[in-house]
A and B are shown apart, each in its own frame.
Chain A
Amino acid sequence: MKTILEKGIVFYQGKFQELEKLVIEKGKITEITLASSKAKKGKPVPPPKKKVETSANTIDCSDLYILPGFIDAHTHISLEEEGVGWYDADFNESFGLATPHVRAFDALKMRDRAFKDALHGGVTTAMITPGSANPIGGQCCIVKMVGNIAEAAVIKESSGMKFAFGENPKRVYGEQKKFPCTRMGTAAVIREWLMKAQDYLKRKKTKEFKEREIKLEALLPLIEGKIQARAHAHQADDIITAYRIAQEFNLDMVFDHCTEGHLIAKELGKWKARAVVGPTFSSRSKPELRNKTFETVEILMDEGCIVALTTDHPVMPIEGLSVAAAMCVRHGLDEERAIKAITENPAIILGLDKRLGKLEVGYDADVVIWEGHPLDTRSRTKAVFVDGNKVI
């Protein structure tokens, strides 16, 4: 079954352009023709059809906006199902400071209405991570917003390892009157486990090795550079601490939240940092958020960082992703880069830029048709395609 989108305004190669035709086939984008390319070449229509397409479903998109599905590179969708009590809260595992072996994937609840909300908000892919109570919180996964079981939605079962710096672990363990109560303590826990994992890796290569340890097994892909380190860090000094540890252990690190990133923009730029910024719409509910601003994104981008926006759902509802981008525009960011921050950039950060985040031939057909400009909060999604299937 072929779907053809005709006319309309497409976000293509980093800018809005007039579309002639976009073809979706077998879950992928198979053709994009711009109106301008037709005009330039002066040819009537793109390549002649070999056979008559009887099964093609053509949608006239005149005056509509066509964008790649948005990507939120840091959420907790369905770990704490919305509108339900403790029995569906699967956020933070409390059996230890370091729980690298717990996997968000095992707690996904595809019934959560947030998945539907996401699609309505134009979001088709999200990274889902355990919470930030533990210095080492567990494994993140990446899923699309469709499917009745997690296996049907999955892109990566284990894409990264969550670390938390700053106030959260301090608060959680401090309240329990346990170590760690300081930032030093949190860093010490993380270092200790990474050190163990390095030695475990060496030991595993010897013949004497017999018995696996699940926590260290879980850390191996990280140590070997197969998955990312995802560092929850708000305050500038916490970001720097995270970077320090990443250097010491040679980790592929992404900075999550990065609330004070703009205060150390030069450093982050020098590190060619990847940052997932947000949820900027939340209140300054704790001291480490005191310098929160919508300007962070632009400042970091200007320094050469790759920046994506996040709602941190359910901290801020997932439909708010485009609103966050619009707020950045209000604070001075240009429209194109604001859109990149919820499409191309999160795809790069998640290591999926060969298949997601852009409308390109060969990419996944995650396509959203908007009734108006996507950063105009009044605009609604008219149709949403995920892997070529119309889901809204």
Chain B
Amino acid sequence: MSIIFNNVRIPMSGTFFPGQKVLVEKGKIASVGSMIRKNVEKVIECEQKYLIPGLIDAHSHLGLFESSTSVDDISEPFADITPHLRPLDGIKMRDRAMEDARRAGISTCMVCPGSERPISGICSILKTNGNSADVGLIVEQAGILMSFGEQVKGAARKGERPYATRMGVSALIRETLMKAQDYYALKQSKKMVKDREIDMEALIPLIKGEVAMRACAHRVEDIMAAIRIADEFKLKLVIEYGTEAHMIAAVLAEKNIPVVLGPTLIPRFRYELNEKTFESAKILMDAGVDVAFTCDYPGLPIETLRVAAAMAMQYGLDERRALAAITDVPAKILGVSERLGKIKKGLDGDLALFSGHPLDIRSRLEALVVDGDLFVFSDDLKVEAGN
């Protein structure tokens, strides 16, 4: 299908530029400019509405959490080290939250198992338009989720797991990574014939440095523990949550470690959330750290991703960086910036059309395009067949 958005505002160098046209063909953005002439199947007259790249939440449990039920497919409460768990096998594409995500302008999510175990599984990148997870997961192996601090300790207490302290969590993770390093070394040496181990196999891309260690950590000491381990094993690192990351912004900037920040719009219901502030994003960005917002669905409803960016603006962040933190920065952190996060020729046809400024929460989403699939949410929107 081909779609053209006529007379639309698009973000350009820190502001919204009016009178633009954006053409989507074969699932990709085919052209951007004011002088596009082309016969297309659908013409959308936008009347100066706001078109932005499809939003990206770089950390969620979308599709693993099952709406309106008491059970979910997020955490394995009786296992501690499960790098081989694949979101692919648990995602429910017809869960209501998938529609909620689309209605919120979200075209892409990172989906991962829960953050209650030291090593809980693979992080995958999911588009919200698919009919099956096999189609929806555009990158299956995009990281390995690990967790530090109070949440892991609390879960261990509740589940009577055999570890109890921060020291123990770090020790378990180190032990696993050491095994994985040796397993990989053995596997490479041709002399050694060996039976495969499924958890070690899942860790190989991490050990090789192809994908990132995604470390859930709120407090300074937990973030530092993750950094220490990543340094020891020479791993790429992304910090998830990062409630106190702003307190060590200089360290993160120097080591070039991005932060997937949030969920901030929650009460301080755990001790480790004590230093939570909406100022974090600006402090981190000013120091030179890449920051993407997350609502950690179902930690917060998936619709609140825009709200996170707007709240950061309320606390001093500028519009350009606030918007980037839900579009091109998460794309960069997820390693898919050559496909996602910008309105640019050749990138995926993922676009969200808002009635007003996208960071004004009163603006509503009128249409979403994901890989060229059009979802219309407003009866007033003028969608006409082209000729």
A: residues with CB less than 8 A from B are: 79, 84-96, 99, 101-104, 106-111, 130, 138, 148-151, 210-212, 214, 217
Query: Interface majority SS on A: helix, strand, loop or mixed?
Result: loop
A218 (CB) vs chain B CBs: closest residue: B171
Query: When chains A and B are docked, how far (Å) is the Cα of A86 from the Cα of B166?
Result: 11
Contacting A106 at CB < 8 Å: which of B170, B182, B219? B170
A90 touches B166 (CB 8 A): yes
Q: Which 8 A-B residue pairings sit nearest by Cβ, starting from the closest?
A: A90-B165, A106-B170, A107-B166, A102-B167, A93-B168, A95-B162, A214-B175, A90-B166
Closest chain-B Cβ to A87's Cβ sits at a distance in Å of 4
Query: Interface majority SS on B: helix, strand, loop or mixed?
Result: helix
B: residues with CB less than 8 A from A are: 150, 153-154, 157, 162-168, 170-172, 174-175, 178-179, 182-183, 185-186, 192, 219-221, 224-225, 228, 247-248, 251, 270-272
B175 (CB) vs chain A CBs: closest residue: A214
A210 touches B171 (CB 8 A): no
A95 touches B185 (CB 8 A): no
Contacting B157 at CB < 8 Å: which of A86, A96, A109? A86
Q: Which residues of A contact B219 (CB under 8 A)?
A: 109
* 20 A-B residue pairings within 8 Å (CB atoms): A84-B271, A85-B271, A87-B270, A87-B271, A95-B162, A95-B164, A101-B175, A103-B171, A106-B166, A106-B167, A106-B170, A106-B171, A107-B166, A111-B220, A138-B167, A148-B247, A149-B224, A149-B251, A150-B224, A210-B185
Q: Which residues of B contact A214 (CB under 8 A)?
A: 171, 174-175, 178
B271 touches A212 (CB 8 A): no
B229 (CB) vs chain A CBs: closest residue: A106
Contacting A109 at CB < 8 Å: which of B174, B183, B221, B270? B221
**Provided the pairs A90-B165, A148-B247, A149-B220 are in contact, do residues A101 and B186 lie with their beta carbons within 8 angstroms?**
no
Contacting B164 at CB < 8 Å: which of A84, A92, A104, A151? A92
Query: When chains A and B are docked, how far (Å) is the Cα of A86 from the Cα of B165?
Result: 9
Q: Which residues of B contact A212 (CB under 8 A)?
A: 178-179, 182
A100 (CB) vs chain B CBs: closest residue: B171
Q: Which residues of A contact B221 (CB under 8 A)?
A: 107-110, 149-150
B272 touches A92 (CB 8 A): no
B224 touches A93 (CB 8 A): no
B165 touches A103 (CB 8 A): no
Query: When chains A and B are docked, how far (Å) is the Cα of A130 from the Cα of B165?
Result: 10
Closest chain-B Cβ to A280's Cβ sits at a distance in Å of 27
Query: When chains A and B are docked, how far (Å) is the Cα of A212 from the Cα of B270?
Result: 37
Q: Which residues of A contact B174 (CB under 8 A)?
A: 101, 214
B161 (CB) vs chain A CBs: closest residue: A95
What total count of A-B pairs have CB within 8 Å?
100
**Provided the pairs A212-B178, A214-B178 are in contact, do residues A107 and B165 lie with their beta carbons within 8 angstroms?**
yes
Q: Which residues of B contact A109 (CB under 8 A)?
A: 219-221
Closest chain-B Cβ to A221's Cβ sits at a distance in Å of 15
B167 touches A210 (CB 8 A): no
Q: Which residues of B contact A86 (CB under 8 A)?
A: 153, 157
Query: When chains A and B are docked, how far (Å) is the Cα of A73 from the Cα of B308?
Result: 47
Q: Which residues of A contact B225 (CB under 8 A)?
A: 106
**Provided the pairs A87-B150, A110-B220, A210-B185 are in contact, do residues A217 and B167 lie with their beta carbons within 8 angstroms?**
no
Q: Which residues of B contact A110 (CB under 8 A)?
A: 220-221
| 18 additional contacts (CB under 8 A) given A87-B153, A103-B167, A211-B186 | A79-B165, A87-B270, A87-B271, A89-B165, A95-B168, A103-B170, A106-B170, A107-B166, A109-B219, A110-B221, A111-B220, A138-B171, A149-B221, A149-B224, A149-B251, A212-B179, A214-B174, A214-B178
Closest chain-B Cβ to A62's Cβ sits at a distance in Å of 40
Q: Which residues of A contact B171 (CB under 8 A)?
A: 93, 99, 101-103, 106, 138, 214
Q: Which residues of A contact B270 (CB under 8 A)?
A: 87
B154 touches A92 (CB 8 A): no
Q: Which residues of A contact B247 (CB under 8 A)?
A: 148
Closest chain-A Cβ to B153's Cβ sits at a distance in Å of 6
A80 (CB) vs chain B CBs: closest residue: B165
Q: Which residues of B contact A79 (CB under 8 A)?
A: 165, 167
Q: Which residues of B contact A210 (CB under 8 A)?
A: 182, 185-186, 192
B167 touches A93 (CB 8 A): yes
Q: Which residues of A contact B162 (CB under 8 A)?
A: 94-96
Query: When chains A and B are docked, how far (Å) is the Cα of A293 from the Cα of B174?
Result: 42
Closest chain-B Cβ to A91's Cβ sits at a distance in Å of 7
B170 (CB) vs chain A CBs: closest residue: A106
Query: When chains A and B are docked, how far (Å) is the Cα of A360 from the Cα of B170?
Result: 39
Closest chain-B Cβ to A277's Cβ sits at a distance in Å of 26
**Provided the pairs A92-B164, A149-B251 are in contact, do residues A106 and B220 lie with their beta carbons within 8 angstroms?**
no
B167 touches A90 (CB 8 A): yes
Query: When chains A and B are docked, how far (Å) is the Cα of A210 from the Cα of B166?
Result: 29
B164 (CB) vs chain A CBs: closest residue: A94
A148 touches B163 (CB 8 A): no
A93 touches B164 (CB 8 A): yes
B248 touches A148 (CB 8 A): yes
A88 touches B271 (CB 8 A): yes
B182 (CB) vs chain A CBs: closest residue: A211
**Provided the pairs A211-B179, A212-B182 are in contact, do residues A91 and B220 lie with their beta carbons within 8 angstroms?**
no
Q: Which residues of A contact B183 (CB under 8 A)?
A: 211
A130 touches B167 (CB 8 A): yes
Closest chain-B Cβ to A216's Cβ sits at a distance in Å of 11
B178 touches A107 (CB 8 A): no
Q: Which residues of B contact A87 (CB under 8 A)?
A: 150, 153-154, 270-272
A103 (CB) vs chain B CBs: closest residue: B167
Query: When chains A and B are docked, how far (Å) is the Cα of A315 from the Cα of B238?
Result: 38
Q: Which residues of B contact A99 (CB under 8 A)?
A: 168, 171
Q: Which residues of A contact B271 (CB under 8 A)?
A: 84-85, 87-88
Q: Which of B157, B165, B225 has the most CB of A within 10 A?
A: B165
**Provided the pairs A87-B150, A148-B220, A148-B247 are in contact, do residues A95 and B167 lie with their beta carbons within 8 angstroms?**
no
A107 touches B167 (CB 8 A): yes
Contacting A151 at CB < 8 Å: which of B154, B168, B224? B224
Q: Which residues of A contact B165 (CB under 8 A)?
A: 79, 89-93, 102, 107
Query: When chains A and B are docked, how far (Å) is the Cα of A84 from the Cα of B162?
Result: 22
Q: Which of B162, B172, B186, B224 has the most CB of A within 10 A?
A: B224
Query: When chains A and B are docked, how far (Å) is the Cα of A94 from the Cα of B164?
Result: 6
